[in-house]
Structure 1
Amino acid sequence: MIDWGAFLVVAAASLVATAAVVSLYSFGLRFRFLSRIDATTGESSRPAWATVLSYLCFVLSGCAVLFGIYLIVPFFHS
C-alpha cells in the first residue's frame, strides 16, 4: 500500500530543494555579471559586495548539492 502522505512530503521537499538550488545558482550568476559603468572613465566595474554575494551563492548551492549526494549514497552515512 502506498503511503500518500509520505509521498507528498517527499515530492514537496524535492520541489522546494530544487527551487532553492536553482535559485541560489542563478542569483550567483546574476551577481557575478552585475556591473556598472563609471561616469568619469566609462569603464565597467563590479561592486565588491556583488562578488562576495556571488561566491556565497555558489558555495551554498554547491553545499546543497553535496548534501543531496550524501543523502543518496548509503556508503557515506552507513
Structure 2
Amino acid sequence: MIDWMAFVTVLVASLVSACVAVTLFSLALRFGDGEASWRRPLSVALFVLCAVVVVFGLYLIVGDHLTTLFTR
C-alpha cells in the first residue's frame, strides 16, 4: 500500500527546494551583473548558499548509503 501522506510530503519538499535553488541561483546571477562593489560579494554568497542547498539535498538522498559505505 502506498503511504500517500509521505508521497505528498516528498513532492512538496522537492518542489520547494527546487524553487529555492533556482531563486538563489538567479538572484546570484542578477546581483553579479552590476557596478556597485557590494554586489559581487553578495552574488558569491548567494552562489555558495545555492550550492549548500544542493549538497544538502544530495546528502538527504544518499547520506545513509555513504555512512554505511565508509564505516565498513
4+ long deviations beyond 6 Å: none
Gaps of 5+ in 2: none
The residue number in structure 2 matching 1:11 is 11
Give the structure-1-normalised TM-score. Answer: 0.77
Give the structure-2-normalised TM-score. Answer: 0.83
Task: Give the whole-Å Cα distance in 1 for the aligned partners of 2:26 and 2:50.
Answer: 10
Match status 1:20 vs 2:20: yes
Gaps of 5+ in 1: 35-45
Task: Give the whole-Å Cα distance in 1 for the aligned partners of 2:55 and 2:17.
Answer: 13
Match of 1:51 among 40, 49, 61: 40
Number of residues of Structure 1 aligned to a counterpart in Structure 2: 66
Q: Which letter maps to 1:21?
A: A
Q: Which letter maps to 2:37?
A: A
Higher helix share: 2
Structure with higher Rg: it is: 1
Q: Percent identity?
A: 45
